[in-house]
Structure 1
Amino acid sequence: METKIKKDWLGRVKSIEELHDDSKLWISEVSFINDELHFFNDLLSTYYIDIIDSGLSDEINKIIKKITQEKESYNAFMKLIQYQENLLSKLIYTGSVTSNPNYLKMHQDLEFKVNAYIKNSKLLKKQIFSIVEDQMRKKEQKKLL
């Protein structure tokens, strides 16, 4: 099925398969981020006391709050992506994908939201690694003394 669809927001043509591939990629990325969030939660738990002792309790509480928000966003994104996929199947079945500007707009909006979610999770990851790295270095320095 090589039906081409004009995506006005990018000014280029994408096939139905490419739209479906977008959704598969989003599911993969968002699921991976969710797995990382569980890892980060465990990582922060491991160094929680050291981080609190070093006076970063406000910062760690903000990060834990962000992790909680990201986990909630995960569920919302998965529902949106699944809805998008179901709608695409219905539109393919009825043969009206190319004539449905609402679907294309919804796909565009979801793409921007998922990209923002991925970007935010990367920033959160940098913050977490920075804090944990600092704590590991401090712990190693204490061992050397």
Structure 2
Amino acid sequence: MKTKIKKDWRGRVKSIEELHNDSKIWLSEIDFINFEIRFLEHLLSSKYIDYLDAGLYDRIEEFTKQLFSKKADGIELKEVILEHEKILSDLIDQNCVTSNKNYLATHNNLALEINTFISKYKYLKMQIFEVVEKVMKKKEQKKLK
């Protein structure tokens, strides 16, 4: 079965509903990432002794710093999105959303920034899962001996 590829928005102006929906999706993604970050921080701290035993102190320390940075980035992005939504509301009141090229450019730049944030976070999460998996396998090997 063929699936349709969602085309980008270049050459077409999004409707007010689409612009607002983008913001809602971004906020939802950031909230979910913040929830995952709390989980990952707990995961890293609860298995801390195992990581030390596996000689992974430096990697875990770096992951913790990166998680803290991603959490701060998420908070900052959320504030930017909320401000972006306020501007959209003002433009709706003035009935000039689609004609405001600056707002539309800002929206596209914000979309790129959020996609970059999500991609970098997913890569960090993948690295953390690889380390956790490695430690779990090592622990299982010790149990079998």
Deviation (angstroms), 1:24? 0.3
Instruction: Tell me the SS of whatever aligns to 1:55.
Output: coil
Match of 1:67 in 2: 67
Match of 2:97 in 1: 97
Deviation (angstroms), 1:119? 0.4
Query: Is the contact between residue 13 and residue 98 of structure 2 (CA under 8 Å) also seen in structure 1?
Result: no
Match of 2:111 in 1: 111
Q: Distance in 2 between matches of 1:62 and 1:112?
A: 26
Match of 1:16 in 2: 16
Ranges in structure 2 where 5+ consecutive residues have no aligned partner? 1-7
Instruction: Tell me the SS of whatever aligns to 1:86.
Output: helix
Match of 2:143 in 1: 143
Q: Distance in 1 between matches of 2:29 and 2:35?
A: 10
Match of 1:127 in 2: 127
Deviation (angstroms), 1:9? 6.9
Q: Distance in 2 between matches of 1:129 and 1:10?
A: 36
Output the TM-score relative to the length of structure 1.
0.91
Q: Distance in 1 between matches of 2:18 and 2:89?
A: 13
Q: Percent identity?
A: 50
Instruction: Tell me the SS of whatever aligns to 2:14.
Output: strand
Match of 1:4 in 2: none
Write the letter of the residue equivalent to 2:25: L
Deviation (angstroms), 1:121? 0.9
Match of 2:55 in 1: 55
Q: Aligned-pair RMSD on alpha carbons?
A: 1.4
Query: Is the contact between residue 50 and residue 135 of structure 2 (CA under 8 Å) also seen in structure 1?
Result: yes
Query: Is the contact between residue 27 and residue 81 of structure 2 (CA under 8 Å) also seen in structure 1?
Result: yes
Name the structure with the higher strand share: 1
Instruction: Tell me the SS of whatever aligns to 1:12.
Output: coil
Output the TM-score relative to the length of structure 2.
0.91
